[in-house]
Chain A
Amino acid sequence: MTRFLLRNAVWIVLLFTTIAFVAVEPRLLSVRIFINVLEHSSILGILVIGMIFCLLAGRFDLSSESTLGFTALVGAWMVSTNPFFGSGWQLPPALVIVLMLGMGAGVGCLNSFFIIKLRVNAFIVTLAMLLALRGFTYVFTNANTMYDLPPSFAALGGYSIGGLLPISVILFLSLFVVSQFVLSYTTFGRDLYAIGGNREAAFAAGIRVDRRTLTAFVLSGMLGALAAWVLAGRLQAVTINLGQGMVFEVFAAAVIGGVSLAGGKGTMMGPLGGVLLLGVITTGLSVMPISSFWVDAVRGVLILAAVVLWRVTEIFEERWRTGTP
């Protein structure tokens, strides 16, 4: 029982955090707010899925937030109908979406090339990519905000079923379910765990380590582009700093959800709890009549508490596994 509780600690923390917020601010107990939490979590959630693929393979992808910013701005630039701030091309939204996903995949390929072929540290490569993409975003768009996006382009982020349930929420939850299935029931998923656990042993066992790593980075890039499409539609505008700083929340959600930064350990469902926990904290603090000055502090402390709890459960699990008292 204790083991079960500790293994699902993030969901228990989520439950108690939600109860605590509702007890203090009863207005949080509404369908609309619940949907807001899910919607708020959707962009972060999509990025987290990509990060988990890389983390499980024992790699980092710091560039996902810049992939989001870059593809969103370039996509909006190509599709915008605004005569001054767009490219003037007004490309068909379907084509632009394909191009955005292609750009995301391209970023993943480039990252992989440097990491796999040139053996450069993934942390450094993706950090450099993060900076480079931010720079290219400036060059491309002269730092302007892109708006006047066609409704069909903005639909994924902006449309809600029955005016209440955003499509982005369904997409993000479905992606988590599909990704968990991929990790649990496909060769690709099992290979990622093996590679993250011990790369040399995985190679010796005949696993195509480089190809799996490439796929993980390509998926991360494409999910970054997908998040960009959703976010651009939601905001109906794209700014140069879109997504900036999100990588910290991506890591926080993954770690809170029990994904090991050393690789080879974690699931999709734990980080989903982490994503929702961050969503509850952010939305709860927005609604509560709390002084503005406290918001960042409270948010930071709650995240820290969740990470500490995760570390405690990891220590206990280690003891159970080794039989140490």
Chain B
Amino acid sequence: MQAGKILKHAAIAAVLALGIAVGGQSANADGYKVIYIAPQLNNAADIVIARNWQDVSESLGMDAVIKNAEISAKREADEWATAIALGYDAIVGGPVDSLAATISVKKANEAGIPVFMLGRTSAGGKVELIARADNISLGTIAAEELVRRIEEQRGEIAGKVLELHGPMDQVNARQRSEAIQAVLAKHPKIELIRKLQHWTPEEFFDITKSVASANELVGITMGSDVIPGVDAALDSLGQLKKIGEPGHIVVTGIDADPRILDLIGNDLWDASALQDMVGYGTILAHYIKHYLDGSFKITAAGPIDNPGAPYHGIEARWSEATEGWQIETPSRPVDKSNYTDPTLWGNAIKKYQ
């Protein structure tokens, strides 16, 4: 009897909680209903991509929902299937697995729902627009900043450099790493030590510490600086020196995470290549609105229409990729001269706290 009562109350509470949760997602009931199925929401970068896109979309009168695939291709396919069944006006993806996502994209195509991609894209299916960072530009800037600073500090571009690269089955990781290698290959006195990691801080720490223990490094660069561990590893070896101090190991990264901005401010990190996720998410949100209104659709490559959004003054262009039309936001270096810029996502994220 007692157990029955408890179960009854639990059921009522569950129904109420569900109601609150569902109700809480409807911000703009009269606008277009759009959904972003994020690959993961487990770091500052992915949070900013999602929240900025949602904010801009809602400011444009759309009802924007975010779902999390939690780095699971299966979970992602389930979310896509639900979104298609619910009849969203547009679906925005950022596939965990580009091949696996193709089936979901094709199902959305069959259902007549336009598909857009944020950050990364599927291997097939019809995608109206891919908005992402220019990974080649990110890798190139990270490597060029590294090389320039090694020369400034040591008088020549020579010595051992550690590159922490991500899994090569991820397009972003591969393109960034290839760009880094392409730059460093131009400098024959640089000995590149490439190490694979899976974006975990434990690996960043352990690999950096092991390699720095066995080698005299002049520089370190990486596929993303969102993951901590490198500076702590150098610190534990007594090798975390300020810029300008003897023995300083030049460190550059990609993304310009908020923690890295603080390290740059303290002269403990040299530079980072900015991934402009605020920029490309903003452009995508505007484009989706124009697309659904029928007021603008890309028909040719060229400079972007810059649909009403502050965009750091950077030029970006519509271009045609193998997967469809795309907008790739170019990178730019972040260092001591501009790390406090409020438009950097690492600073902009503070508004979400």
Contacting A at CB under 8 A, from B181-230, are 193-196, 199-202, 205-207, 209-211, 213-215, 226-229
Residues of chain B within 8 A (CB-CB) of A8 are: none
Q: How large is the interface on A (under 10, 10 to 19, 20 to 34, 35 or more residues)?
A: 35 or more
Which of B193, B214, B215, B238 is packed against the most chain A CB atoms within 10 Å?
B214
Partner-binding segment picked from B29-37, B41-49, B84-92, B297-305: B41-49
B213 touches A234 (CB 8 A): no
CA distance A148 to B266 in the complex (A): 12
Q: Does B236 contact A (CB under 8 A)?
A: yes
The answer to whether B227 touches A239, judged by C-beta atoms less than 8 angstroms apart, is yes
Contact, CB under 8 Å: B214 / A27 = yes
Verify if B165 is at the interface (C-beta below 8 Å from A): yes
Mostly, the B contact residues are helix
Write the chain B residue with the least CB distance to A246.
Answer: B202
| Nearest-Cβ distance from residue B259 to partner chain A, whole angstroms | 5
CA distance A138 to B201 in the complex (A): 17
Residues of A within 8 A of B201 (CB): 235, 237, 239, 242
Contact, CB under 8 Å: A237 / B259: yes
Is B350 interfacial (CB-CB < 8 Å)?
yes
Closest to B205 in A: A235
Q: Which residues of the partner chain B approach A242 to less than 8 Å between Cβ atoms? A: 201-202
Residue of A nearest to B51 (CB): A142
Neighbour of A231 across the interface among B46, B47, B202, CB < 8 A: B202
- A4 contacts the other chain (Cβ, under 8 Å)? no
- List, in ascending order, chain A residues with CB within 8 A of B226's CB: 145
Q: Which residues of B contact A318 (CB under 8 A)?
A: none
Residues of B within 8 A of A27 (CB): 214-215
Query: In the bound complex, do residue B259 and residue A36 qualify as a contact, i.e. CB atoms below 8 Å apart?
Result: no
B258 within 8 A of A: yes
Instruction: Write the A80-112 contact mask toward B (1 if CB under 8 angstroms, else 0).
Output: 000011000000000000000000000000000
Q: Assess whether A144 is in contact with B196, with CB atoms less than 8 Å apart.
A: no
A142 touches B42 (CB 8 A): no
Option from A30, A39, A143, A296 in Cβ contact (under 8 Å) with B44: A143
Contact in complex: B353, A85 (CB < 8 Å): yes
Bound Cα distance A283, B350 (Å): 37
CA distance A147 to B260 in the complex (A): 11
Residue of A nearest to B168 (CB): A293
The answer for the CA separation of A84 and B193 in the assembled complex, in Å, is: 36
Which residue in chain B gives the minimum CB-CB distance to A44? B202
Q: A43 and B202: CB pair below 8 A? A: yes
Nearest Cβ on chain A to B327's Cβ, whole angstroms? 26
Cβ-closest chain B residue relative to A295: B196
Task: Tell yes or no: A292 within 8 A of B by CB.
Answer: yes
Q: Decide if B228 touches A36 in the complex (CB within 8 Å).
A: no
Measured between alpha carbons, how far is A237 from B195 in the docked complex, in Å?
22
**Chain B neighbourhood of A293, CB < 8 A:** 168, 196
Binds B, one of A49-57, A158-166, A265-273: A158-166
Within 8 Å of chain A (Cβ to Cβ): is B276? no
B195→A292 contact, CB < 8 A: yes
Determine the chain B residues whose CB is within 8 A of the CB of A143 once the complex forms. Answer: 41-44, 46-47
Q: Do B228 and A235 have beta carbons less than 8 Å apart?
A: yes
Q: Does B78 contact A (CB under 8 A)?
A: no
| Inter-chain contacts of A243 with B (CB < 8 A) | 202
Give Cα A145–Cα B201 distance, bound, in whole angstroms: 11
Docked complex Cα distance between A289 and B200 (Å) = 21
How far, in Å, is A241 (CB) from chain B's closest CB? 5
Give bound CA distance, A53 to B206, whole Å. 27
A142 to B352 Cα, complex, angstroms: 9
Contact B231 A236 (CB under 8 A): yes
Contact A158 B235 (CB under 8 A): yes
CA gap between A25 and B226 in the complex, in Å = 31
Question: In whole angstroms, what is the CA distance A42 to B69 when docked?
Answer: 32
Any B CB within 8 A of the CB of A240: yes
CB-nearest residue of chain A relative to B208? A286
CA distance A163 to B42 in the complex (A): 34
Closest CB in chain B relative to A282 CB, distance in Å: 7
A286, B211: Cβ atoms closer than 8 Å = yes
Least CB distance from A90 to B in Å reads 15
Q: Is residue A40 within 8 Å, beta carbon to beta carbon, of the partner chain? A: yes
Task: Among A43, A231, A239, point to the contact of B43 (Cβ < 8 A).
Answer: A239
Task: Find the A residue at minimum CB distance from B204.
Answer: A235
A138 to B50, CA, bound (A): 15
B257 within 8 A of A: yes
With most chain A CB atoms within 10 A of its CB, the pick from B41, B207, B238, B262 is: B207
Cβ-defined contact, B228 with A234, below 8 A: no
A sample of 7 inter-chain contacts (CB < 8 A) reads A36-B213, A148-B262, A239-B42, A282-B206, A283-B206, A286-B195, A293-B168
In the complex, besides A231-B202, A295-B195, 8 extra interface pairs with C-beta distance below 8 angstroms are: A27-B215, A36-B209, A145-B228, A235-B228, A237-B232, A245-B200, A287-B214, A292-B195
